[in-house]
Amino acid sequence: MKSMKLGSVAFAMMLAAMACTPGAGTPGPGSPAASQPTSSEPAASQPTSSEPAASEPSSSEPAASEPSASQPTGEFGSVTIAEGEAIQLGTAMVVTGANEALGLDSLYGVQVAAQLRPEVAGHPVDFNDQDDGCSAEGGQTAARALASDPQIVAVIGTSCSSAGVPAAEILSDAGIVLISSSNTAPSLTAPDTHEPFYLRTAHNDTIQGEAMARFACEELEVTTAATIHDGSPYAQQLQQVFADQFVELCDGTITAQEAINVGDTDFRPLLTSIAADSPEFLYYPIFVAEGGLMTSQARETTGLEDTLLAGSDGIFTPDFLDAAGGAAEEMYLSGPDLEYEGGLYADEFLPAYADISGEDAPISVFHAHAFDATNMIFDAIEAVGVEGEDGSLTIDRQALRDELFATSGYEGITGTLTCNETGDCADAQISVSQVQDDAFVRIWPEGE
């Protein structure tokens, strides 16, 4: 008996020594291997020691096929929607004030998409609609409101690039996809300033600025031009692209590049200064309130009687025609080409848009881009969402982002969309319209 007791003690001591030896056995959650991050410094792609990897779930936590909101599956976590509950999406559009047509037009596009597709991955969809104010302050406020709701899966917006700059940063930091139907400032998708969860279905103004320069010198055959912007990322960057391309492609001369402030009302001294150099073409890609006043005052400025006036998609709305009070006649406006191919736009989209908006025709130019953006999100949710045994749906935020950025050959109303690594997805087609008899008439490119 004594020898048996001594043998048992020795055996127990041997087991204890083995358990304390580094590298012996398989490391548990509290003992990561040397190649694994420590629990105090987890790698972005690795869960912490208190959150087992999806391939090695603990017995008390859901398996990889059934992740929960409290146990994120990726760096930015996940959203779980219970059976029968709605998927929550956000919008951030300018829906009040002088530029409301721009935002409402896109919002109606989102609503048409939801009406034509009432369920996504077996769930209804609800929207948390925020006003971006067409300003940096408005974009910041809207983004913070949406980021504070843990059930928001993705956001369609913003309307204005000035709102998009802070919104993209705030929502990217939260791991929430933001896809815009009408932001066009080049900086939003430039490699050095792009936020990682930001995409857009709208064109990049590197394309619009070049198109307007070509129209000015090739179609109108002007050799001198001036520009005015309002300090917003959209206006400042678009006029700069136009000016650069007008010089480079057309060997033209830019006589002036001037700036105003949003809210200014008296542009006569500025216009008089511009008139001193007699530019043949004056391009001011600004917004409705200032654009209407600029147009009416330019018509009254000595020296600009023969100058051709031009704007862009920020004022491509009947609200601008009202603001200009008739002075917009014969003015040129650049923007997305609305001559869409296929029957979906005419046969399904436009009737639904009229039903939802109560308008006889679209009130601005980015409604189809919003429709495409919304459906891209719907498709991505269905691609990456994981259905649990209890009927719930879990959407990993990083996986949703990656799925959207992998979009290739997507057939939307606006064309065939493919997203690049900085979020430009548009099949960009730019046209120029002229105001004729108080209506926008597409005049260029011809025969397309």
Each of the 448 residues of the chain gets a pLDDT tens digit; together they read: 333 333 433 333 333 333 333 333 333 333 333 333 333 333 333 333 333 333 333 333 333 334 443 344 578 999 999 999 999 999 999 999 999 999 999 999 999 999 999 999 999 999 999 999 999 999 999 999 999 999 999 999 999 999 999 999 999 999 999 999 999 999 999 999 999 999 999 999 999 999 999 999 999 999 999 999 999 999 999 999 999 999 999 999 999 999 999 999 999 999 999 999 999 999 999 999 999 999 999 999 999 999 999 999 999 999 999 999 999 999 999 999 999 998 999 999 999 999 999 999 999 999 999 999 999 999 999 999 999 999 999 999 999 999 999 999 999 999 999 999 999 999 999 999 999 999 999 999 986 5
- The pLDDT, as a whole number, for residue 403 is 98
At 195, which amino acid appears?
E
Give the helix ranges, DSSP H, for 204-307: 205-214, 233-250, 268-275, 288-299
Do residues 93 and 103 touch, judged by C-beta distance below 8 A? Answer: yes
> C-alpha angle 231/169/49, rounded to 5°?
170
d(CA 385, CA 379): 10
- Report in angstroms the alpha-carbon separations of 194 from 166, 169, 199: 11, 9, 9
H helix or E strand, kind and range, residue 3: helix 2-20
Strands across the sheet containing 198-200: 119-120, 123-131, 87-93, 152-157, 177-180, 198-200
- Give the number of other CB atoms < 10 A from CB of residue 434: 17
Assign 211 to helix, strand or coil: helix
Q: State pTM to two decimals.
A: 0.84
- Give which of 310, 301, 248 is closest to 281, Cα–Cα: 310
Main-chain dihedrals φ then ψ at residue 311, nearest 5 degrees:
-135, -160
Instruction: Report the interhelical angle of 397-405 vs 367-384 (nearest 10°).
Output: 120
What the block records as the tokens of 190 is: 């430039």
d(CA 144, CA 51): 27
d(CA 215, CA 330): 15
d(CA 120, CA 123): 5
Do residues 258 and 236 touch, judged by C-beta distance below 8 A? Answer: no
> C-alpha angle 387/388/392, rounded to 5°?
75
> C-alpha angle 237/240/245, rounded to 5°?
130
Give the helix ranges, DSSP H, for 136-225: 136-147, 161-173, 205-214
Q: Using CA atoms in the order 217, 220, 224, 228, what is the torsion angle rounded to 10 degrees?
A: -100
What the block records as the tokens of 264 is: 């200014």
Strands across the sheet containing 439-444: 253-259, 224-229, 281-283, 308-311, 332-336, 430-436, 439-444
Topology, domain 206-330: Rossmann fold (3.40.50)
- Report in angstroms the alpha-carbon separations of 45 from 50, 53, 76: 14, 10, 10
* Antiparallel, parallel or unpaired: β 177-180 and 198-200: parallel
Tell me if domain 87-202+339-428 and domain 206-330 are identical in fold.
yes
Q: Is the torsion defined by CA of 418, 422, 423, 425 positive or negative? A: negative
- The pLDDT, as a whole number, for residue 448 is 53
- The pLDDT, as a whole number, for residue 68 is 40
- Give which of 364, 358, 362, 365 is closest to 349, Cα–Cα: 362
* CA gyration radius, the chain: 28
- Report in angstroms the alpha-carbon separations of 309 from 195, 280, 436: 35, 9, 13
First to last CA, the chain: 101
What the block records as the tokens of 177 is: 């996809």
Query: How many residues does the structure list for the chain?
Result: 448
What are the residue ranges spanned by the domains of the chain?
Answer: 87-202+339-428, 206-330
Instruction: Report the interhelical angle of 205-214 vs 233-250 (nearest 10°).
Output: 40
Q: What residues form DSSP beta bridges with 432?
A: 334, 444
Do residues 188 and 179 touch, judged by C-beta distance below 8 A? Answer: no
CATH code at 87-202+339-428: 3.40.50.2300
